[in-house]
């Protein structure tokens, strides 16, 4: 097992999943080719079982690392979904929001102008109503003092 660690010591691929996959693949090919190049089946059963165990361990580690890389990519996607969105979709969304904002702005502007006109019209009507008010109504609006009530009697 220690002779397998030599392949990973000179390779800085433990963090890069693609490079790690390639390194494990070349290592499998190298040892498979080495076994096939010998062309002879050794009588030593222990060597065969050790080689099989080493290859099984390498394949197990390879599958584990592939699953780990997949889980890590999914975690990054869940943590920051915006980083995986394309620039064009973000531009489309921004343009849509800009258009909606502009429509809302002009709607509020029209409503404000309408309300200002209505206020001005109500002020004119109030001034006209004050001009043509009946004097008896004005008299009734004022409060009589005690001196006015005593003089009338």
Question: pLDDT by residue (tens digit) across 12-71?
Answer: 666 777 878 888 888 877 777 666 656 544 445 667 788 888 889 988 988 888 888 887
> How much is the pTM?
0.31
**Do 27 and 7 form a contact (C-beta atoms < 8 A)?**
yes
CA distance 106 to 112: 10
Ranges of each domain in the chain: 2-84, 88-141
List pLDDT tens digits, range 68-126: 888 787 777 677 656 556 778 888 889 999 999 999 999 999 999 999 999 999 999 99
Residues ≥6 apart with Cβ < 8 Å to 37: none
């Amino acid at each position: 097992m220690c002779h397998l660690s030599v392949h990973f010591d000179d390779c800085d691929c433990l963090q890069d999943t693609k490079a790690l996959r390639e390194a494990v693949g070349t290592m499998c090919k190298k040892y498979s080719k080495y076994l096939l190049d010998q062309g002879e089946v050794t009588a030593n059963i222990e060597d065969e079982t050790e080689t099989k165990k080493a290859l099984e361990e390498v394949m197990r580690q390879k599958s584990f690392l592939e699953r780990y890389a997949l889980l890590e990519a999914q975690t990054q996607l869940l943590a920051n979904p915006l980083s995986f969105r394309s620039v064009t979709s973000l531009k489309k969304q921004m343009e849509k929001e800009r258009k909606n904002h502009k429509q809302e702005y002009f709607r509020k502007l029209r409503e404000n102008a309408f309300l200002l006109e209505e206020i001005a019209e109500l002020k004119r009507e109030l001034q006209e109503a004050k001009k043509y008010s009946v004097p008896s109504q004005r008299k009734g609006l004022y409060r009589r003092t005690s001196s006015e009530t005593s003089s009338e009697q």
